[in-house]
Amino acid sequence: MTNHHTARTLACLAVLLICGILPAEAAATSLWIDELPSSCHVGEPITIGGETRGFPDGTAIEILIFPVDDSQADTVYGECRIAGGKFAFTFDTGAMEPGRYALQAQDSAGGRYDIEELTLFPATGSLLLTSSPSGAAIIIDGERLGTSGSVIASIPAGWHEVTVSREGCVNRTETVLIPPGEFVELHWGLAPAPTEGWISVCTHPDEADIYLDGISRGKSDMVLSGIPAGTHTITITLTETTGFKTVWYEDYTAEIEVLPGKGTSVSATLRPRPYSTWLVVRSYPENAEVYLDGTYQGTTQTVLPFIEEGHHILRLEKPGYEEIEVSLNVPVGGIEFTRTLTPIETDDSIRVLSEPDNTSIFLNGDYAGRTPLRIDDLAPGIYYILLLKDGYSSWHRTVTLAPESAVTVIADLVASPDAVHTPPSTPVPPTPAPAASSAEEDEEFDPETLAAMYGRDAPAPENEKDFIGGLFRQITDFFSSLGYSLPGSGE
């Protein structure tokens, strides 16, 4: 570089002398820059050096560094002195902006100068990042620059977003500082990529039943965790029962995609189904078998939806407890039925309940009392039960009483404001009549029965033969008064 600058300077001086522009005495002095890198990075110290001719030692040399492009960077000023015909000046580029600069050296009088260019690149550093497992991609500020385990050089100094990515692992991203001119070494461990995700379920109304792939997972609102990545079917159902009112909602079903390590949200607004008639059946104790119109419906506690309004026969059975059979009038919208079961006792009995109570009970035509009533010490057989209450339609049922058993009958009377009832006059036998006696034997009647049959004022015959004879005489006398005679009358 020295010969180049010297030749160029001498050539310039010769031209100036020939043209008469430069005085002869001025041509005896000169300076030139012979030490300057063509480029460097911000933060690196720069030394500019040169030689002079014809200047005494101690002469001041001014150094100017100014941008030659559109940069708004400030001009840097410096000064040094000639020693032994040479000059040198070192300056720091840490505060300078990257770009192209011109460096000018001139004597203090401004008569002699030289200019060179310098390109200032951003300050850089190097990075060696290893990973476990190895073979991961190194991404700096969104650009893939290498693989873990290899050195990445010429990274601009400063803060950078560094990401390490490998298949089967969770990406790791951190902000890393690369100091200018330094070598940074890091080691990152990568966690295995998850194979499960989670589902957040929110419904309105809440407390809905959640089924994932047909398996019950709980009630909303909730988060289902540990769900394998992939496609799943979620179903949400809801039935609300408040007192005598039950509301069925339309089912919600959807296909959802669960991503590994991520969550999926499900938000469902459930809509009530069209209006329906229902029957809620409860018993204490529970798990009694429920029969509606003779068809098994499950066990208590249970809800029977979508049944027809009107009259139905409901029966509850549970081993060790009295059977309950009740006639229900189910209105539009539904009704709730709740009963406490009665343990079976050893004696044979029929228990009669009604709504309303205080209703007259006739058992096989005989008045037995008013509801609620338990009729004990009954013989096994078939019984006809009739319930009468003014203002309500009559209610009847035939029941079979097995040996050592008890039957509970529940009647739900239907209001009939104009109904007025007359008690039955003919009893109905509970069991078939006994076989007739032999012809040789006379059946004895007690005096009270005979008096009622024959007439209260007539003398009571002692046996059946006397009773029949007397009856025949009465008939004969009646026809004789009319002028007729009967065979065998003796007339």
What are 18-40's pLDDT values in tens digits? Answer: 444 444 444 578 899 999 998 88
- Percent of residues, the chain, with pLDDT higher than 70: 78
Spatial CB neighbours of 319, under 8 Å, sequence gap ≥ 6: none
ω into 104 cis (within 30 of 0)? no
* Ramachandran angles phi, psi of 456, nearest 5°: -65, -35
Domains present along the chain, CATH in parentheses: 2-121 (2.60.40.730), 124-189 (2.60.40.1120), 196-269 (2.60.40.10), 289-412 (2.60.40), 447-481 (no CATH)
Closest C-alpha among 268, 270, 266 to residue 201: 266
191-234 pLDDT tens trace: 998 889 999 999 999 999 999 999 999 999 999 999 999 999 99
Assign 98 a pLDDT band (cuts: 50, 70, 90).
Answer: confident
* Ramachandran angles phi, psi of 455, nearest 5°: 130, 135
Using only C-alpha atoms, the chain has a radius of gyration, in whole angstroms, of 59
Most confident by average pLDDT, 12-16, 80-84, 432-436: 80-84
Q: Could you list the beta-strand ranges (E) of 167-309.
A: 172-178, 183-189, 196-204, 209-212, 215-219, 222-228, 230-237, 239-242, 245-248, 252-258, 263-269, 279-284, 289-292, 295-299, 302-304
Burial of residue 441, with CB atoms counted within 10 A of its CB: 0-12 exposed, 13-18 middle, 19 or more buried: exposed
Assign 432 a pLDDT band (cuts: 50, 70, 90).
Answer: very low
